[in-house]
Amino acid sequence: MDYNKEDSCGKFSKDYFTKLEQVLEAVEVHKLDDISDVILNAYKTNNQIFLIGNGGSAAIASHAVCDLSKGIGTGLVVKGRKIRCISLTDNTPLLMALGNDLGYENVFVGQLESVLNEKDVLIAISSSGKSQNIINAVNFAKTKEAKTIGFTGFDGGSLKSLADYCIVVPSNDYTFVEDSHQIMFHLLAKYVISKINNTNQL
């Protein structure tokens, strides 16, 4: 294969990792203190945690629920009572039914109406912070006096000011925003589970 080593995937990878590192260094990680406290408090009070997102953010929501519910990595599991968390992105027939009958902007509100209680937690993941189904869900959660957490990028969109707590990844590139969100959910799962198990395990 004839190609220029200076334009190889290896070189592209190094540049990508460098840029991702720069983006992560600009994230206000101290805000993860409040977010981890909300998750831990929901565990202590046996409240539910719901996650929502579109596209790649939907995949991150599902992945986060897997890590929080089961544990993350070999040997790092929640001992005893489990964290009650659900991704509202996973029931395809229900999503399609709600989208068809009520409009895509209501696919999450339509689910929350029957399951969300006071002091539950809604974690909304949206790179743009502008998706209407996300905004509608957060607005609904606030009327139910649930805690709301946002993970967004770009300029934060409406989600930045609407959520009780919000992490904004300062990048206009979806790939770096989604990479950063996935990393933060991995570290949150590790941290929360270590605190529940009283191990402070990294």
Is 103 inside a domain boundary? yes
- Indicate the SS3 state at residue 167: strand
Is 4 inside a domain boundary? no
Is 100 inside a domain boundary? yes
* C-alpha distance from residue 178 to each of 19, 42, 57 (Å): 13, 25, 7
CA–CA separation, 8 and 17 (whole Å): 14
Looking at residue 35, which CATH number applies to its domain?
Answer: 3.40.50.10490
**Residues, the chain:** 202
Residue 5 confidence (pLDDT):
65
Is the separation of the CB atoms in 176 and 23 below 8 Å? yes
Is 82 inside a domain boundary? yes
Is 12 inside a domain boundary? no
CA–CA separation, 1 and 88 (whole Å): 46
Is 128 inside a domain boundary? yes
**How many domains does the structure of the chain reveal?**
1
Residue 81 confidence (pLDDT):
83
Is 23 inside a domain boundary? no
Residue (of 117, 136, 49, 55) closest to 87 by Cα position:
49
Is 19 inside a domain boundary? no
Residue 70 confidence (pLDDT):
82
Tens digit of pLDDT per residue, the chain (202 long)?
A: 555 667 788 889 999 999 999 999 999 999 999 999 999 999 999 999 999 999 999 999 999 999 998 876 656 677 778 899 999 999 999 999 999 999 999 999 999 999 999 999 999 999 999 999 999 999 999 999 999 999 999 999 999 999 999 999 999 999 999 999 999 999 999 999 989 888 666 5
Which domain does 71 fall in, by range? 28-196
